[in-house]
Amino acid sequence: MPTVTAALLVLALTATSQEVLDGAPPSAWRPLDDERTLYLELPAGRVVIELAPQFAPRHVANVKALARGRYWDGLVILRAQDNYVVQWGDPDDETPGKARPLGTAEAKLPAEFTRAAAGLPFTRLPDTDGWAPEVGFSDGFAVGREGAAGAAWLAHCYGLVGAGRDNPPDSSNGASLYVVIGQSPRHLDRNITTVGRVVQGMELLSVMARGPAPMGFYEQPGLGTAIKAVRVAADVPAAERTRLELFRTDGAAWDALVETRRNRREGWYQRPAGHADLCGLAVPVRPTPAVAPAPAR
Amino acid sequence: MPTVTAALLVLALTATSQEVLDGAPPSAWRPLDDERTLYLELPAGRVVIELAPQFAPRHVANVKALARGRYWDGLVILRAQDNYVVQWGDPDDETPGKARPLGTAEAKLPAEFTRAAAGLPFTRLPDTDGWAPEVGFSDGFAVGREGAAGAAWLAHCYGLVGAGRDNPPDSSNGASLYVVIGQSPRHLDRNITTVGRVVQGMELLSVMARGPAPMGFYEQPGLGTAIKAVRVAADVPAAERTRLELFRTDGAAWDALVETRRNRREGWYQRPAGHADLCGLAVPVRPTPAVAPAPAR
């Protein structure tokens, strides 16, 4: 639709982010895929995670198998380190006889730190990044890459979900997961397997009392927030699912939105930055709009 | 001390951050200045703020006058917006008859968004930054500048403290203050007056329940955390002060520490980044070491 595209690009030169969102067509939004969505159910509410099988197929398959085996239900948040991560898993996972059974999930997986950029959608950002030769977005995920023929990986931005590991690169299997709750720890990029990102409910994780022990661990596991359940959205009764749409990170509407973040036009700003950084660009999320009922005959 | 310097630089090529800190001489640390330190006393404990009069002399003088007039005592945290800021002040400050009196503080101040770089200590970081031509540290503060002959300003990193304003650039007076609790909102740089940074107690602010109203405001001011008191450290009885030392951000020990963050040597890392970003470099803080008693005669 060249008319819409041209209008959006012109608008972006003088518009605010809100104006771009208000003016974007329905096609600028996409629904969450319930088979690629995980619900972390906490006493305070639901955290919605979009999984990234395109970056870590083995780990994401394992995470889904663990959720379907109710592996995490009744466990607790083990760690909340200020300006860094919240993490959960089985505190006894290395204790024979006490470790929770993995069910149909695999105990050992290869590291999935990066993948080939070839075949991956990629909308490059116009600005420089110190951590990667190129940065941009791929189906909503903040991504670094070495070029179209090199490697690509998820960037450690606010809300990223990764698979905790010990020193061996292949020591993660997805049973222990962490979420970034502070300044983007991009030094972790390409050093660990990443499996998704939180699209709703970050404020339930970010407020958790920080653990007093080193690295934010609670001194006793019982001090951490309880995990009621972790479920694949597709397994939850349809009426109980969280219906969300995400702003697409390709096309003219996205380009227009990025430009409104690079140079803010709201009246408050005195000096547009002429820059946006990868982890400063939140992808908009909204409840799926209700379908208008057909008019009565 | 060229011997120490050389040893630190060699060490940095293979060392971890902990090894650099352990090997740093006492002169690599400096004490907090009690006349430039503010205590925000919350029910859960004390937040320690280092003020930056070198960047905003008028606002910092006003903040100290407000603290000395007990302006904030008994007020509450008004706003906690996820991945952005916590903010406090008088919710009635624009209501004649209800606004708290400012005492000896000034109601109107000029904007202090930037200052001249001339005369400001500056240790430049080796890596690029998309938001400023040059970035580095100045007496512990993360700073952007246009070059030695241009402007300099505080960068909006985690823990930065600024003075809230309305649309007019000169509409802040320091009576409403905010603290960055998420991904560095560097687009605010050079758009607002900044007055200091939190050096201890961030975890008391970052865990506050996020407000449900737009921009993280609580729907009723009574829902926010109470402020017991705000004091200039020098006004607090000596025995009740928090004695801290900060790692100096100039000299060989700092250079060595930065290198250990650019290229991490801990056994966990598979791939050193060769990069550190301004807001990812936390300046180490420690309790002031006890002075060893003189030996008995």
pLDDT-based confidence at residue B220 (cuts at 50, 70, 90): confident
Mean pLDDT calculated for residue range B249-261 = 97
Looking at the structure, tell me whether residues A38 and A163 fall in a common domain. yes
Q: Point out the residue among B82, B184, B279 whose CB comes nearest to the CB of A202.
A: B82
Looking at the structure, tell me whether residues B73 and B110 fall in a common domain. yes
**Integer Cα distance of A143 and B28 in angstroms:** 38
Looking at the structure, tell me whether residues A268 and A176 fall in a common domain. no
User: Would residue B294 count as lying in a domain?
Assistant: no
Looking at the structure, tell me whether residues A25 and A134 fall in a common domain. no
Angle (CA) A14-A15-A16 rounded to 5° is 135
By residue count, chain A amounts to 297
Nearest CA among B124, B170, B137 for reference residue B52: B137
Q: Which residues contact B238 (CB under 8 A, 6 or more apart)?
A: none
Q: So what's the pLDDT on residue A291?
A: 74
Mean pLDDT calculated for residue range A98-118 = 98
The pair of structure tokens assigned to A211 is 């653990």
Q: What is the mean pLDDT of chain B?
A: 94
Q: Which of A5-19, A116-130, B80-94, B199-213 has the lowest mean pLDDT?
A: A5-19
Is the pLDDT at A3 greater than 50, yes or no?
no
User: Would residue A296 count as lying in a domain?
Assistant: no
**Integer Cα distance of B271 and B274 in angstroms:** 9
Q: Which residues contact B38 (CB under 8 A, 6 or more apart)?
A: B48, B49, B51, B63, B64, B67, B196, B230, B231, B232, B233
User: Is the four-CA dihedral A258, B156, B136, B144 of positive or negative sign?
Assistant: positive
Q: What is the pLDDT of residues A25-62, one digit of tens each?
A: 999 999 999 999 999 999 999 999 999 999 999 999 99
A74 reaches B (C-beta below 8 A): no
User: Helix, strand or coil for residue B12?
Assistant: helix
User: Would residue B62 count as lying in a domain?
Assistant: yes
pLDDT-based confidence at residue B2 (cuts at 50, 70, 90): very low
Domain that holds residue B249: 1-30+243-289
Mean pLDDT calculated for residue range A283-290 = 95
pLDDT-based confidence at residue B8 (cuts at 50, 70, 90): low
Task: Tell me how far CA of residue B273 lies from CA of A160, B196, B235, in angstroms.
Answer: 18, 30, 45
B129 reaches A (C-beta below 8 A): yes
ipTM: 0.94
Largest CA distance in chain A: 67
Contacts of A191 in chain B (CB under 8 A): 268-271
Is the pLDDT at B268 greater than 80, yes or no?
yes
Residue contact A206–B131, C-beta within 8 A:
no
At position B161, the amino acid (one-letter code) is V
Radius of gyration of chain A (CA): 20
Looking at the structure, tell me whether residues B220 and B257 fall in a common domain. no
pLDDT-based confidence at residue A12 (cuts at 50, 70, 90): low
Share of chain B above pLDDT 70, in %: 93
Looking at the structure, tell me whether residues B164 and B284 fall in a common domain. no
pLDDT-based confidence at residue B291 (cuts at 50, 70, 90): confident
Q: Which of A16-20, B213-217, B218-222, B239-243 has the lowest mean pLDDT?
A: B218-222
Q: Are B180 and B113 in contact (CB under 8 A)?
A: no
Residue contact B183–A182, C-beta within 8 A:
yes
Q: Point out the residue among A183, A190, A206 whose CB comes nearest to the CB of B158.
A: A183
User: Would residue A297 count as lying in a domain?
Assistant: no
Looking at the structure, tell me whether residues A78 and A220 fall in a common domain. yes
Residue contact B279–A183, C-beta within 8 A:
yes
User: Would residue B89 count as lying in a domain?
Assistant: yes
Q: Are B200 and B285 in contact (CB under 8 A)?
A: yes
Q: Point out the residue among B203, B206, B269 whose CB comes nearest to the CB of A191.
A: B269
pLDDT-based confidence at residue B172 (cuts at 50, 70, 90): very high
Q: So what's the pLDDT on residue B11?
A: 55
Q: Are A278 and A125 in contact (CB under 8 A)?
A: yes
Q: Taking the C-alpha atoms of B196, B197, B200 and B204 in order, what is their torsion angle to the nearest 10 degrees?
A: 110
Strands A115-116, A85-88: pairing is unpaired
User: Helix, strand or coil for residue B185?
Assistant: coil
- Please return the burial class of B107, using the count of CB atoms within 10 Å of its CB with bins 0-12, 13-18 and 19+: exposed
Neighbours of B297 (CB within 10 A): 3
User: Would residue A165 count as lying in a domain?
Assistant: yes
User: Would residue A63 count as lying in a domain?
Assistant: yes
Mean pLDDT calculated for residue range B3-9 = 51
User: Is the four-CA dihedral A186, A188, A193, A197 of positive or negative sign?
Assistant: negative
Looking at the structure, tell me whether residues B158 and B88 fall in a common domain. yes
- Please return the burial class of A127, using the count of CB atoms within 10 Å of its CB with bins 0-12, 13-18 and 19+: middle
Please give the model's pTM, rounded to 2 decimal places.
0.94
CA distance B81 to chain A (A): 9
> Tokens 């609670």 appear where?
A218
> Tokens 């004390």 appear where?
B46
Identify the CATH number of the domain in which residue B175 sits. 2.40.100.10
Q: What is the pLDDT of residues B63-83, one digit of tens each?
A: 999 999 999 999 999 999 999
Q: So what's the pLDDT on residue B10?
A: 53
Looking at the structure, tell me whether residues B190 and B258 fall in a common domain. no
Nearest CA among A265, A189, A118, A225 for reference residue B271: A189
pLDDT-based confidence at residue A2 (cuts at 50, 70, 90): very low
DSSP secondary structure string for all residues of chain A: -HHHHHHHHHHHTT--HHHHHHH--GGGEEEPPGGGEEEEEETTEEEEEEE-TTT-HHHHHHHHHHHHTT-STT-BEEEE-TTSEEEES-TTTTSTTTSPP-TTS-S-----S-EESTT---EE-SS--SS-SEEEEETTEEEEES-TTSEEEE---TTEEEE---SSTT---SSSEEEE-SS--GGGTTSS-EEEEEEE-HHHHTTSPPPSSGGGB-SSGGGSPB--EEEEGGGS-GGGS--EEEE-SSSHHHHHHHHHHHS--STT-SS--S---GGG-PPPEEEPPPPPPPPP-
Cα of first residue to Cα of last residue in chain B, in angstroms, is 32
Is the pLDDT at A1 greater than 50, yes or no?
no
Paired residues of B183 in beta bridges: none
Is the pLDDT at B122 greater than 80, yes or no?
yes
CA distance A30 to chain B (A): 24
> Tokens 């402020």 appear where?
B227
CA distance A266 to chain B (A): 10
Last residue of one domain, picked from the residues B241, B259, B278: B241
Looking at the structure, tell me whether residues A202 and A270 fall in a common domain. no
User: Helix, strand or coil for residue B135?
Assistant: strand
Q: So what's the pLDDT on residue B194?
A: 98
Neighbours of A249 (CB within 10 A): 25
Residue contact A189–B267, C-beta within 8 A:
no
Q: What is the mean pLDDT of chain A?
A: 94
Mean pLDDT calculated for residue range A245-250 = 98
Is the pLDDT at B12 greater than 60, yes or no?
no
Angle (CA) B123-B125-B128 rounded to 5° is 145
Looking at the structure, tell me whether residues A217 and A176 fall in a common domain. yes
Mean pLDDT calculated for residue range B162-174 = 97
Contacts of B280 in chain A (CB under 8 A): 183-187
Residue contact B183–A158, C-beta within 8 A:
yes
Q: So what's the pLDDT on residue B294?
A: 64
Neighbours of B184 (CB within 10 A): 26
User: Would residue B20 count as lying in a domain?
Assistant: yes
Nearest residue of chain A to residue B211 (CA atoms): A203
Mean pLDDT calculated for residue range A139-160 = 98
Q: Are A260 and A249 in contact (CB under 8 A)?
A: no
Looking at the structure, tell me whether residues A19 and A67 fall in a common domain. no
Last residue of one domain, picked from the residues B223, B241, B259: B241
Paired residues of B48 in beta bridges: B39, B200
Count the domains in chain B: 2
Angle (CA) B226-A224-A103 rounded to 5° is 155
**Integer Cα distance of A15 and A21 in angstroms:** 10
